[in-house]
Amino acid sequence: MKKILLLLLVSFYFTGNTLAQDQYIFPYGSGPSKSFIKEIIKLTGKERPKICYLPTASGDSERSIIRWYELVHDLSVEPSVQRVWISSYNQKVSFEETLLGMDAIVVGGGNTLNMIAIWKAQGIDTVLKKALEKGIVLAGGSAGSLCWFENGTTDSRPKALSVVEGLGFLPFSHCPHYDSEEYRRPLYHKNIENGIFKPGYAMDNHAGIIFKNGEPFKVVSMDEKHNSYFVSLKDGKIVEEKLESVILKE
């Protein structure tokens, strides 16, 4: 047994390989909430993790930034914010240096389409992929949940809900705000029926799913009224499976 362990250690040393980090993504239907941030803290495995808030989807809204600091002020975290409306005069470190120095990254809500476009223009999409591979926890609600999936429904364009492409870190479709807007649920079903979307995960406000290495790991909710679902197509009909949730306390 000792010889086997020694051979494995020698193999890792000479090939330059390291043990793979578990990869956690925590999307939720809306938010954030203090209870969800507490879950993120647990996922980092740190006593006082560095958590960065990305308010890109709201246009770096000061209101959302203030809300972020109010939310975490009494939690065991080292909070920060990474704006994208910056210049080389006032930010002397790269997005990559900043974000890859975090233990978790939380993405805020707003316009998903604009957020993804800005991230791609700035190379933040690539940085977030590196963050995931490094074991940095990725999380967020609304636009901050939709971005991690392949695609989903968004209100980012005029007139009506439409399709938006995400980063594809999770190989499913997604629908946030599943319980709160009249057209979200039927449109999501229609897009799966028509083959526009793969089967995927829908989340009510105040509910979410922690994914570990690309698969559901823990389903959580603020109360029994809000749920998450796996929505798929079987024999030409939509099947909506309600997932059993762990109810979190503030």
Mean pLDDT of 33-41: 95
pLDDT of residue 179: 92
pLDDT of residue 32: 79
Q: What is the pLDDT of residues 42-93, one digit of tens each?
A: 999 999 999 999 999 999 999 999 999 999 999 999 999 999 999 999 999 9
Number of H helices, E strands in the chain: 8, 14
Instruction: Tell me the domains of the chain and their CATH numbers.
Output: 21-244 (3.40.50.880)
Give the helix/strand (H/E) hosting 105. Answer: strand 104-107
State the Cα–Cα distance between residues 104 and 113, nearest whole angstrom: 23
Q: What is the pLDDT of residues 227-248, one digit of tens each?
A: 999 999 999 999 999 999 999 9
Residues annotated catalytic, as ranges: 142, 177
Q: What is the pLDDT of residues 130-183, one digit of tens each?
A: 999 999 999 999 999 999 999 998 888 988 887 999 999 999 999 999 998 778
Instruction: Specify the 3-state DSSP secondary structure of 226.
Output: coil
